[in-house]
Amino acid sequence: MGEQRSTPEDFGEVFKQFMRQQTQPASPSESVVAQLLRRHFEADPAKLPVVAQEFKLNDHPNLQVALDNYIATPGVTWSLRGFSSDRPQFGGHSLSDLLMPPSNGLIGSDGAAVEGPVKYRSVTLASDRVVTCVEGGLFLCHEASRRLALWIRMSDHYITKLAIEVMAPERETAETFLAELRDSMRKRNVYRGRVLTLDQRRDGNIAIVPRALPKVTRQDIILPEGLLDRIERQTVRFSLHAPKLLAAGRHLRRGILLHGAPGTGKTLTAMYLASEMAGRTVLVVTGRGMGLIEEVGAMARALQPATVVVEDVDLIAGERSQQAVCNNGVLFELLNEMDGLGSDADVLFLLTTNRPDMLEPALAARPGRVDMALEVPLPDVECRRRLFALYGRGLRFEVQQLEGFVERTQGVSAAFIRELVRKAALAAADERDELVVEDRHLDEALHELLVEGGGLTRSLLGAAASRP
């Protein structure tokens, strides 16, 4: 029997059948996520409710800490799965999107989800603490009374936010879990008790930046007799007795204004007070943070007991007639935040200014906004003597005519004396290896600051305008 040969017509017919098979739509396949959820819930996930909630991006570590606490609860078993896709910004997909089957039936193509790595994001809270947060991942959780699926993702509609979607057999179960999660985030807020500044990011989010306070002791604060005691009474000791005062019906909200010439130690005093009131959240408002007063106030209320330090408040709270329209809005926000606190809110506003004469009268005088305004004056004779001793620490300070320099520095600030001693030490260091500060070094430094430095240098260092 001879071999049967195919004709060109036969080949053409077979090829047409092959092409028809390739162009016919394939039956859709169930997505990887749908398969996981079906096994987890033992039900069709397409018929289960999903409740979603968005959080600000700076709440990411709070959400992670709350989730870590939940999955560590005895009786809770869990797994964490990651997914990837060839579609850009896959993290923005909702849980419903992940359930959709691939349009061509091929898992992993056309944007369909395939299993991949869990996405993480590290958030630095301080030099000693970094929280690693899930940025894209699916938690499958099971406990005796409920089963949950938690999809963590980023939402990028206008401003990047954090989203969590909760799938459960009943909507009420998902809502209850989200309420528990929010409560846990509030109780375990990672920013409570820290020193923070706020900054506006280019993407519209507000960055919470941990800040280290300078180490300032009471001995570093050189003020006239009794002034530091009065300041501490309204701040440190008030904070110490807050529970007792609240129980007696005394309100805890308060505002303190420290005013005086530049360089007299207002900021240094504020930093000392902040470090002395242990356990309080400290929010330092400077620079671009001036435009975030409303957000600062909200954080202070949420993280109380809190201290809000606003440096150079005259920059935003000058007389309205002298302000640009944009600054008025910031001023109104500051006044609203100070007025809007409840009487039991343990929030201290600590304000500093070089120009009390420019402050809005309502801010400087009206009760409930600023309760006490204290002047931090230029140092008197005794304070100048103590300042020389303070800034001479660590040096061989062999100055024979110290009292003469104390007299010659009348009308200067503490910052001026600090710079004077620094320049004298630099001059001494140029001469020999052993650093010994003598009268001639101080004399040379004083001449440089008062005469050669000119009026601008004297002004920047807080020297009185009448000095030569």
- Please compute the mean of the pLDDT values over residues 282-301 and round it to a whole number: 84
- Ranking 57-71, 82-96, 118-132, 144-158 by mean pLDDT, the lowest is 82-96
Distance CA 98, CA 138 (A): 11
Distance CA 191, CA 61 (A): 9
The mean pLDDT value of the chain amounts to 82
Contact 83, 92 (CB under 8 A): no
Contact 282, 276 (CB under 8 A): no
Residue 279: pLDDT band (50, 70, 90) is: confident
Nearest to 456 by CA among 467, 445, 442: 467
Angle, helix 60-71 to helix 171-187, in steps of 10 degrees: 110
Per-residue pLDDT tens for 166-221?
999 999 999 999 999 999 999 999 999 999 988 887 767 788 888 888 889 999 99
Distance CA 33, CA 100 (A): 9
Domains of the chain: 32-187 (no CATH), 210-375 (3.40.50.300), 381-460 (1.10.8.60)
Distance CA 197, CA 180 (A): 29
- Ranking 32-46, 184-198, 225-239, 306-320 by mean pLDDT, the lowest is 306-320
Per-residue pLDDT tens for 126-144?
777 899 999 999 999 999 8
Question: DSSP readout, 16-49?
Answer: HHHHHHHHSPPPP---HHHHHHHHHHTS-GGGS-
Q: Is the pLDDT of residue 88 over 60?
A: no
pTM for the model stands at 0.78
C-alpha to C-alpha distances, 152 to 72, 90, 92, 282, nearest whole angstrom: 18, 12, 10, 30
pLDDT at 215: 87
Tokens representing 37 are: 């959820």
Higher local confidence (pLDDT), 391 or 313:
391
> What percent of the chain is modeled with pLDDT above 90?
43
Q: Is the pLDDT of residue 3 over 50?
A: no
Q: Tally Cβ neighbours within 10 Å of residue 6.
A: 9
Residue 320: pLDDT band (50, 70, 90) is: very low
Q: Is the pLDDT of residue 353 over 80?
A: yes
pLDDT at 251: 73
